[in-house]
């Protein structure tokens, strides 16, 4: 496994986003299957594991704590504060007291004394970013967190936060069909020496190639509320997927491997964190750092799937109103 850097840490070039082991995409897998995913990732050389207080309203952190505690010295463990479940509802709260309490609870669930990278999950528009990051910086000084990150924020917010305490990583969605980071925040990360962690790099399963019928998504699957997965837009997007799969077949690789390889070649400061709930899919993720794409292939992929060719918005209007990232 090739490696890249996040702040003081050397991590695998591909991390594992653990959200869907407990959250968001319908019924989570059984515990033994989740364990097989985590252990398979470890065996494949993955050392970066990403979770959040929100995922499963604490269940995902508990899962990782119970299964990865014995491997704690081998891994870089990241989690997020600032968005969590309160009385069964998702709440964005960046107040310093809330952040401190959230992290104490996360440490217990994760069965660790320290979180390697703590992200602010979402900007709370009611709380100055300086106050939220100031509370997170206090946790670094207390030895409960090693490095800080931000999730889904703009370049301007990133700069304000970095002025309070060095930011090691910026996490946001980046892949063929979501190019928003190219507006400003990716350049800001490079100017400031901040690692870019790309979540949902497989388009929430779309680029894996197996999701053909969105009508079969479970009622609580969050993709049901995302315009690109609506029946209206998905039919158009499937035409792009057919051509993308043809490209993967030409290269004798899995579609997921191709999607991740494209992203890895966008810069050695980019670390994708794909997720899966199926251990048999891990090989396609782990293979990506070894796949080198030539210039002609990169150009074809860029022309095939981009913000002009994809049908539908990334988020619905209500969710987009909560997001601080730049939009085209």
Residue 264 tokens, joined: 């890895």
Closest residue by Cα to residue 197 from 135, 141, 240, 147 = 147
194 within 8 A of 170, measured Cβ to Cβ? yes
* Contacts with 266 (C-beta within 8 Å, 6 or more apart), sequence order: 174
- Give the count of beta carbons closer than 10 Å to the beta carbon of residue 235: 11
The pairing of beta strand 145-151 with beta strand 115-120: parallel
Per-residue b or e along 10-35, where b marks 16 or more CB atoms closer than 10 Å to that residue's CB? ebbbbbbbbbbbbbbbbebbeeeebb
Cα–Cα distance measured from residue 54 to residue 58, given in angstroms and rounded to the nearest whole number: 6
Residue 49 bridge partners (DSSP): 16, 77
227 within 8 A of 178, measured Cβ to Cβ? no
What one-character-per-residue DSSP string does 292-306 give?
PPPHHHHHHHHHHSS
Residue 231 tokens, joined: 């029946």
- Catalytic (active-site) positions: 55
């Amino acid at each position: 496994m090739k490696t890249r850097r996040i702040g003081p840490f050397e991590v695998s070039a591909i991390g594992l986003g653990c959200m869907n082991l407990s959250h968001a995409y319908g019924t989570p897998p059984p515990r033994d299957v989740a364990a097989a995913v985590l252990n398979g990732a470890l065996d494949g050389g993955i050392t970066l594991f990403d979770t959040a207080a929100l995922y499963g309203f604490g269940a995902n952190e508990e899962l990782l704590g119970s299964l990865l505690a014995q491997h704690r010295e081998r891994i870089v463990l990241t989690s997020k504060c600032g968005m969590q479940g309160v009385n069964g509802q998702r709440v964005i709260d960046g107040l310093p007291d809330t952040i401190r309490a959230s992290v104490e609870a996360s440490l217990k669930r994760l069965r660790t004394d320290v979180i390697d990278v703590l992200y602010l999950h979402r900007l709370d528009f009611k709380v100055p970013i300086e106050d939220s990051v100031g509370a997170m910086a206090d946790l670094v000084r207390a030895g409960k967190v090693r490095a800080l990150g931000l999730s889904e924020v703009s370049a301007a917010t990133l700069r304000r936060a970095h002025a309070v305490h060095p930011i090691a990583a910026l996490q946001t969605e980046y892949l063929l069909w979501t190019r928003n980071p190219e507006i400003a925040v990716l350049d800001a990360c490079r100017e400031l020496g901040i690692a870019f962690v790309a979540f949902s790099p497989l388009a929430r399963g779309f680029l894996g190639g197996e999701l053909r019928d969105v009508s079969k998504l479970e009622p609580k699957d969050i993709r049901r509320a995302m315009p690109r997965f609506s029946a209206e837009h998905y039919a158009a997007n499937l035409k792009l997927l057919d051509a993308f799969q043809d490209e993967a077949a030409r290269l004798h690789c899995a579609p997921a491997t191709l999607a991740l390889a494209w992203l890895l070649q966008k810069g050695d400061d980019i670390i994708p964190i794909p997720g899966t709930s199926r251990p048999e899919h891990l090989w396609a993720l782990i293979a990506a750092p070894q796949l080198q794409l030539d210039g002609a292939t990169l150009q074809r992929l860029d022309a095939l799937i981009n913000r002009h060719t994809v049908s539908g918005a990334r988020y619905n209007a209500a969710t987009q109103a909560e997001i601080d990232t730049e939009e085209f």
